[in-house]
A and B are shown apart, each in its own frame.
Chain A
Amino acid sequence: MAASKMKTEGSSLRQSMASVHTWAGLLPGWLVFLVFLFGTAAFFQQEVSAWMRPELRGTQVTSTALEAAGSRLAAEGQGAESWHLSFPHPRGGDVLGLAWPPKDGDGDWTLIDLDPGTGQPTRVRATEGGSFLFKFHYNFHYVPYWLGRYAIVIASLAMLVAILSGIVTHKKIFADFFMLRFGKGQRSWLDAHNVTSVLALPFHLMITYTGLVIFAYMLMPWPVTASFANEDAYFEAAYPSQTSVEASGRWAAVVPIVDLTAKAEAAWGRLPASIEIQHPGDAAAVAILQPVRDSLGRGAPPLQLSAVTGAQLDSTRKSSAAEATRDVMVQLHAGWFAAPVLRWLYFVAGVSGTVMIASGLVLWTVKRRAKLPDPKRPHLGFRLVERLNIGVISGATGAIAVYFLANRLLPLGLASRAEWEVHSMFIAWGAMFVWAIGRPAKRAWAETLAMGALLYALVPVVNALTTARGLLPSLIAGDCVFVGFDLIMLATSALLALAARRVVSHKPKVAARRKAGATQEVTA
């Protein structure tokens, strides 16, 4: 491939781009696959959280709950440096959260979950919900977050290179825009890779580029070290925290929380996303209300109120054009602003990206299998790629179902229950990985895919057996989130089953493929 003859200037550029595309796509491919898989699922983060907290019915915050929250803060949080209230997201899935830092300086934060309706501590099962899927897609797990993040940032950079070199290499992608041919071996894999890449190309470029912008300070730390004394000084300038006030030392009661939220409702027409009260109990106490971030473009600035009188204090500074640009990129990436229809479009494009990476990884082996000197005993590199493909593509996809199953099946009283949901997922994934290594490749694909199909099919069943919110009751109640979740599980199961069947019925035509490979131009 790299040794191919140089014909003209143009074709040699394309051929060198072809090897760039191959290797910039392959090496970080498994990491980027995970990022796309979990990131795509995380577009429905709140809905996943709602499904994983079935005890939570409705997340409308009542004034009773706010009163209860206020008196609990006053009674138990007295003496803390600050109080924090987090409100359920408008899309649901969250509780009303209270938190304050340790009063004597060290130790853990106190976290209390309240029912948004009653204000009493909830009996909601311990779970990380959708936020685990979200965090995994930029931090990974079991490794220090900065390590996972560096790995992801570097892999994403390679991904951007792979996308751009892919566009240069496959100049035929636009001539072949509508081509998807089934049952043609390598040609079909190439078609699938092209179609999933090209049709959602604006999304792939946007999501990869904006993802890099979010963590640009990690990729290019030098502007920061050149202009700021240290990293903290940069963060203070880039993401200014609200002016922290000095305590006056005079005692004064905090106004009822309802008076603070009323100000937010007057300004934004709805509840804030969170309230932070600095120096509660002091005459100089300040409350900072953050708006829900679900618009595209420059959003409303936070509200800064006196926590003693409820009066509005001098408003916060306006964001600069550079900050606003960065904010829009973050918004485009995360899609918080997307109404349901657009959210589904994001999801479809994300699935397309996930399939693009998976098909690209598989294509690497398909292209090389036919040219192996001894197809019965492939070399180590080939075997490594092949097994990683099965273990990551098929294994991780199936393992997410186990995360949902564990949410329903683990005992409610289990210690560190939320962590065990996550452990369950990784145990299942590890098991499928071992399976993928131990079996012949074709069987390993079919069996892990079939296992995934079974696991996803089990989710609605187990949900119906362990909660009162199965598919049928949810349909009757018109509960879109629960119905939608179960249907997505069934659809995923069907797709994995179909894929497994395809693998089983696949008859490799070695001779035919060799011939096709010889006449084909250098691609991938």
Chain B
Amino acid sequence: MINLATFVLSLAGFALLLLAFPRHQQDWLRRKLAPGKARTLRLLGFALLALAFLAAGLGLGWGYGAVVWLGWLTVGAALVVTAQANRERILTRLRR
């Protein structure tokens, strides 16, 4: 359960960080967001990653939780990268 929470928070955090990059906004939203909005997304993204750390630390102990957190960060980021690499396919499917 704690693992799932840590994973979902990391995944969501990295997804927001991805959308905070202007060139990825172009990829996914077909437009660029205002700099203020991008900043908010970036802050929210980091906040979610911090929340993931809290969840892992409180649920599994700080030492063990920290290792678990880093592990899920890797997996979360890897999934976001996979999505980014296949964005055209995903977007076509979504539009249908």
Interface residues of A (CB under 8 A from B): 177-182, 195, 199-200, 202-203, 296-297, 332, 337-338, 341-342, 345-346, 348-349, 352
Contact = CB atoms under 8 A, between A and B. Distances in A.
Contact of B71 (A180, A181, A195, A345): A345
A345 B81 contact: no
Interface string B63-81: 1100110111111011011
Contacts of B25: none
B12 interface: no
B21 A178 contact: yes
B63 A199 contact: no
A348 B63 contact: no
B81 to A, nearest CB: 5
B49 to A, nearest CB: 13
Contacts of B3: 341
A297 B78 CA distance: 29
B18 interface: yes
A180 B85 contact: yes
Nearest to B70: A202
B61 to A, nearest CB: 8
Contacts of B32: none
Contacts of A348: 71, 74-75, 78
A181 B85 contact: yes
B4 to A, nearest CB: 10
B84 A180 contact: yes
Given A178-B18, A296-B64, A345 B24 contact: no
A199 B63 CA distance: 21
Given A199-B81, A203-B74, A348-B78, 16 more contacts: A177-B17, A177-B77, A178-B21, A180-B82, A181-B85, A182-B85, A199-B78, A202-B74, A203-B70, A296-B63, A296-B64, A297-B63, A332-B67, A348-B71, A349-B71, A349-B74
Interface in B20-61: 21, 24
Task: Give 9 nearest A-B pairs by CB, closest first.
Answer: A345-B71, A180-B85, A202-B70, A200-B74, A199-B77, A178-B84, A341-B3, A178-B18, A199-B74
Contacts of A341: 3, 68
A177 B64 CA distance: 26
A347 B39 CA distance: 34
A346 B68 CA distance: 9
Contacts of B78: 195, 199, 348, 352
A18 to B, nearest CB: 24
Nearest to A202: B70
B84 A179 contact: yes
Contacts of A297: 63
30 contacts: A177-B17, A177-B77, A178-B18, A178-B21, A178-B24, A178-B81, A180-B81, A180-B82, A180-B84, A180-B85, A181-B85, A182-B85, A199-B78, A200-B74, A202-B70, A203-B71, A296-B67, A332-B67, A342-B67, A342-B71, A345-B68, A345-B72, A345-B74, A348-B71, A348-B74, A348-B75, A348-B78, A349-B71, A349-B74, A352-B78
Contacts of B77: 177-178, 199
A348 B72 CA distance: 10
Contacts of A179: 81, 84
Contact of A178 (B68, B75, B80): B80
A180 B78 CA distance: 10
Contact of A337 (B21, B64, B73): B64
A342 B14 CA distance: 20
A7 to B, nearest CB: 25
A297 B67 CA distance: 13
A345 B75 contact: yes
B55 to A, nearest CB: 14
A79 B84 CA distance: 69
Contacts of A338: 67
From B71, B72, B73, B78, residue with most partner A Cβ within 10 Å: B71
Contacts of A345: 68, 71-72, 74-75
Given A180-B84, A341-B3, A345-B68, A352 B74 contact: yes
B81 A195 contact: yes
A178 B15 CA distance: 10
